[in-house]
Amino acid sequence: MSKYLFPIYKQVNIEFKKGKGSKLYDKYKNEYIDFTSGIGVNSLGHGNKSLIKAINKQANKLIHISNIYPVEAQKKCAKKLVQLSTYKNMNCFFCNSGAEANEAAIKFVRKYAYLKKIKNHKIITINNSFHGRTLTTLKATAQEDKQKGFGPFTDEFIYAKDIEDIKNKIDKSTVAVMLELIQGEGGINAFDKKKIQILAKELKKKKILLVIDEVQSGVYRTGKFLASNYYEIKPDVITLAKGLAGGLPIGVMMSDVKDIFILGNHGTTFGGNPLCTSVALEVLNILQEQEKSKKLENRILYFQKNLDKCLKENKEFFVSKVGIGLMLGLKLKNEEDLGILIEKCLDEKLLVLRSGKDIVRFLPSLNISKKEIKEGFSKLQKAINKIKG
Ligand SMILES: *Cc1c(COP(=O)(O)O)cnc(C)c1O
């Protein structure tokens, strides 16, 4: 850790120098299998040729011009996002991160409440959610341990225990419900499809906005473009970020609710710049092809087959498999083993993540090869064997 940096991250002391596909190399040329893709960011893995080409091509033309001029790539990227979503009449706002996309969504909801004259308006979020680290998105994040010491906060968030509890929390002042369909940081908790569909219907009837945070679950992570497509619902507001530009910083807030954001209501300096949006467009084109050709589906099936096998062979260690698509995890029997398992995986040169208290999380790149998957799971088994002794 550098004395010039704030010590805010719990870091593993490995200096990565290079990556290729789902393999990473440290300064001693040790080879690692990457089941994390930078927390769901490197959707095309490391060193992807098409991605590098797209970056170079745009960088040679124009990197930034400011949103006071029309940005061609932004328009194309927005059109693509709306087409892929399958929802009609959506508008996009581009920014630089997940938290910013959620901030935009919350501002949007507030303006909606103002126009609808909903007094003391409140947004309901769910326990163990994660929506970002800015003061407002941290308050939306229903995990009080993360909030400690940073108040006073933006007010008017109400926490529901789970999906069923939302209806107990709804009253005249409720303007929106904001949730992740699969809680990424809170334990790869995929909510029940039927329950979500019932909730979406109920909210529509009551004219309460449904805001779906797809910062982690979006951009083909579930096998579909959006987790919302997988759940077969139509949210009023959607946010995306992590995997969208293959590693470049980007976020987007989408909605089909009209006449809320008007001239001067919101903005950003960097958001939607030519470089990030043209690269995002390339990522979307590649992933769309991978989905159409069933390559993505085959990879998901292969990864999950290996995960099932791992669960079956280590019944005394894991309780269950969690997640959807390539947003996956294994629930440990003893939560004390999680830190040890991640450490042993590192010894075997496999990168995995944690989620919640007792989930070892896998967010591999969406183009991970069968060979890399196989190698990763063999390393995982070796790590487990070491703990078993
Ligand atoms: C990562 C994440 C965020 C925050 O994104 P940043 O880019 O770190 O601001 C918000 N919501 C969800 C669901 C996330 O996984």
pTM: 0.98
Q: 329 phi and psi, to 5 degrees?
A: -160, 165
For residue 98 and ligand 1, the question of a CB distance below 6 A is answered with: yes
Query: Which one-letter DSSP state was computed for residue 242?
Result: T
- Predicted confidence at residue 373, as pLDDT, reads 98
Helix (H) or strand (E) holding 38: helix 37-40
Residue 228, C-beta contacts closer than 8 angstroms, at least 6 positions apart: 85, 181, 212, 214, 234, 235, 238
Residue-wise pLDDT tens for the chain (389 aa)?
A: 789 999 999 999 999 999 999 999 999 999 999 999 999 999 999 999 999 999 999 999 999 999 999 999 999 999 999 999 999 999 999 999 999 999 999 999 999 999 999 998 999 999 999 999 999 999 999 999 999 999 999 888 999 999 999 999 999 999 999 999 999 999 999 999 999 999 999 999 999 999 999 999 999 999 999 999 999 999 999 999 999 999 999 999 999 999 999 999 999 999 999 999 999 999 999 999 999 999 999 999 999 999 999 999 999 999 999 999 999 999 999 999 999 999 999 999 999 999 999 999 999 999 999 999 999 999 999 999 999 88
Query: Which one-letter DSSP state was computed for residue 224?
Result: S
Pure H helices in 62-162: 72-85, 98-115, 135-140, 144-147
Ligand 1 centroid–CA 315 distance in Å is 32
Ligand 1 centroid–CA 146 distance in Å is 14
Q: Which of 361, 87, 362 is nearest to 240 (CA)?
A: 87
Q: Which residue has a Cα nearest atom 5 of ligand 1?
A: 98
Q: What is the pLDDT of residues 355-377, one digit of tens each?
A: 999 999 999 999 999 999 999 99
Rounded Cα distance between 230 and 83, Å, is 16
- Predicted confidence at residue 112, as pLDDT, reads 98
Query: In testing the pocket of ligand 1, which one of 216, 221, 239 has its CB within 8 Å of the most ligand atoms?
Result: 216
Q: Which residue's structure tokens are 């959506």?
A: 90
Cβ atoms of residues 6 and 32 within 8 Å: no
Q: Which residue has a Cα nearest atom 6 of ligand 1?
A: 98
Helix (H) or strand (E) holding 256: none
CA-CA distances (angstroms) from residue 275 to 121, 181, 249?
A: 38, 30, 10
Instruction: Ligand 1, residue 98: give the atom nearest the CA.
Output: 5
Ligand 1 centroid–CA 137 distance in Å is 9
For each of the domains in the chain, give its residue range(s) and CATH number, in order of start. 16-34+294-388 (3.90.1150.10), 51-292 (3.40.640.10)
Q: Which of 365, 360, 363 is nearest to 380 (CA)?
A: 360
For residue 130 and ligand 1, the question of a CB distance below 6 A is answered with: yes
- Predicted confidence at residue 1, as pLDDT, reads 73
Rounded Cα distance between 151 and 73, Å, is 39
Rounded Cα distance between 184 and 124, Å, is 18
Q: What is the pLDDT of residues 223-268, one digit of tens each?
A: 999 999 999 999 999 999 999 999 999 999 999 999 999 999 999 9
